[in-house]
């Protein structure tokens, strides 16, 4: 049996990371936004549906259509987003405790080391700081360490051993390979401490047209190919923590894997097994139509937890035992 993990913003939320709704509130206070009435109005317009990512998608689209007019707006909103990640990462660095109790068998790090691969949609450096930089994969006894396939750290004498504090750039195409002794960590949408091959722009996939933007980066394109390859293997289980199932390019991969009878999933989210129902656009309509996502849940879901990781890996033995059935 292969065990794969996919995390979203709700995972980082357990250690103080911001959800999309909280990111919206952060951005309102940034000078780049507060002093730009157009961006403020745009954020408020898209707050009910899609949030700041939909607002950013509009700015990106405007820029592509008319760069001369919309360059400043794009630079301002991207600057605010970059500062948001910088502040969030700095908050992680201020704390050293990742675990919710001291029993080794109940540690989050021990749990993470059980997965054959970790995929994340998050762009913060939570796991780099708390999990990888602490050599937890090595301490688990299963792995020789972790790797970011296709990525190379930029030399930094001060933080030469830190994944979280260093900058990373894509390796050459010929250098992309997987080491069976290293736990692979795939950041599907890039990372706040990744830079493009040319220049120093952050490699972040944010906005409303992610699948199009991913196509510009060979390493991210390969990550998405591997995501599907992993999930299409027989006898594979995927645990999904904190992902709201709103990225269509991710959902489509999951649907293909489940419809082919390859994949079973377990979710950890406040909505539990009702997550797909809760985001159905016809949920409150006079005539309700089941969504493809709901059908996927009905076919592929083998369990769910509505409780936080703090509860599951803290004192809640009942829920912990339910979650760990995933590996049986």
CA 89 to CA 124: how far, in whole Å?
6
Could you tell me the pLDDT band of residue 214, with boundaries at 50, 70 and 90? very high
Looking at the whole model, is its pTM more than 0.95?
no
Could you tell me the pLDDT band of residue 326, with boundaries at 50, 70 and 90? very high
Phi, psi of 113, rounded to the nearest 5 degrees:
-70, -10
Question: In terms of Cα–Cα distance, which of 176, 181, 293 is closest to 240?
Answer: 293
Residue 253, domain extent? 2-18+106-327
Instruction: Answer yes or no: do 87 and 152 share one domain.
Output: no
Give the tens place of pLDDT for each residue, 107-128: 999 999 999 999 999 999 999 9
The total of structural domains in the chain comes to 2
Tell me the mean pLDDT in the region 42-58. Answer: 86
Tell me the mean pLDDT in the region 8-17. Answer: 95
Instruction: Answer yes or no: do 171 and 285 share one domain.
Output: yes
Looking at residue 325, what is its pLDDT? 96
Looking at residue 297, what is its pLDDT? 95
Domain-embedded: residue 99: no
Q: What is the CATH number of the domain that holds 143?
A: 3.40.50.1220
CA 22 to CA 30: how far, in whole Å?
13
Instruction: Answer yes or no: do 54 and 173 share one domain.
Output: no
Q: Is the pLDDT of residue 316 over 80?
A: yes
Domain boundary among 66, 93, 120: 93
Q: Which residue has the tokens 């912990």?
A: 320
Domain-embedded: residue 101: no
Strand order in the sheet with 168-170: 151-153, 168-170, 190-195, 202-204
Instruction: Answer yes or no: do 265 and 276 share one domain.
Output: yes
Instruction: Answer yes or no: do 238 and 184 share one domain.
Output: yes
Looking at residue 286, what is its pLDDT? 67
Domain boundary among 93, 125, 145: 93
Tell me the mean pLDDT in the region 21-37. Answer: 93
Instruction: Answer yes or no: do 112 and 30 share one domain.
Output: no
Domain-embedded: residue 100: no
């Amino acid at each position: 049996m292969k065990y794969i993990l996919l995390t979203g913003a709700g995972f980082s939320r357990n250690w103080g990371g911001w959800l999309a709704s909280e990111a919206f509130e952060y951005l309102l206070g940034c000078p780049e936004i507060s002093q730009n009435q157009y961006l403020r109005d745009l954020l408020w317009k898209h707050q009910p549906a899609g949030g700041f990512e939909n607002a950013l998608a509009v700015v990106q689209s405007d820029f592509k259509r008319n760069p001369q007019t919309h360059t400043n707006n794009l630079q301002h909103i991207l600057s605010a987003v970059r500062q948001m990640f910088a502040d969030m990462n700095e908050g992680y660095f201020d704390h050293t405790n990742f675990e919710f109790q001291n029993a080794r068998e109940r540690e989050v790090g021990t749990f993470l080391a059980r997965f054959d691969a970790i995929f994340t949609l998050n762009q913060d450096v939570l796991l780099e700081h708390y999990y990888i930089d602490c050599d937890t994969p090595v301490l688990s006894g299963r792995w020789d360490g972790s790797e970011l396939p296709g990525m190379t750290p930029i030399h930094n004498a001060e933080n030469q051993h830190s994944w979280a504090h260093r900058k990373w750039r894509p390796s050459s195409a010929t250098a992309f390979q997987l080491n069976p002794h290293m736990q692979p960590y795939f950041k599907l949408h890039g990372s706040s401490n990744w830079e493009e091959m040319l220049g120093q722009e952050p490699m972040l996939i944010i906005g409303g047209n992610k699948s199009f933007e991913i196509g510009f980066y060979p390493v991210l394109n390969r990550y998405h190919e591997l995501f599907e390859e992993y999930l299409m293997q027989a006898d594979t289980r995927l645990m999904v923590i904190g992902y709201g199932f709103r990225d269509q390019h991710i959902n489509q991969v999951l649907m293909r894997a489940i419809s082919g009878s390859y994949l079973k999933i377990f979710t950890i989210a406040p909505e539990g097994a009702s997550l797909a129902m809760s985001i159905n656009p016809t949920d409150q309509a006079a005539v309700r139509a089941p969504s493809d996502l709901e059908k996927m849940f009905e076919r592929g879901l083998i369990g769910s937890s509505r409780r936080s990781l703090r509860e599951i890996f803290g004192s809640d033995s009942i829920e912990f035992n339910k979650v760990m059935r995933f590996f049986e």
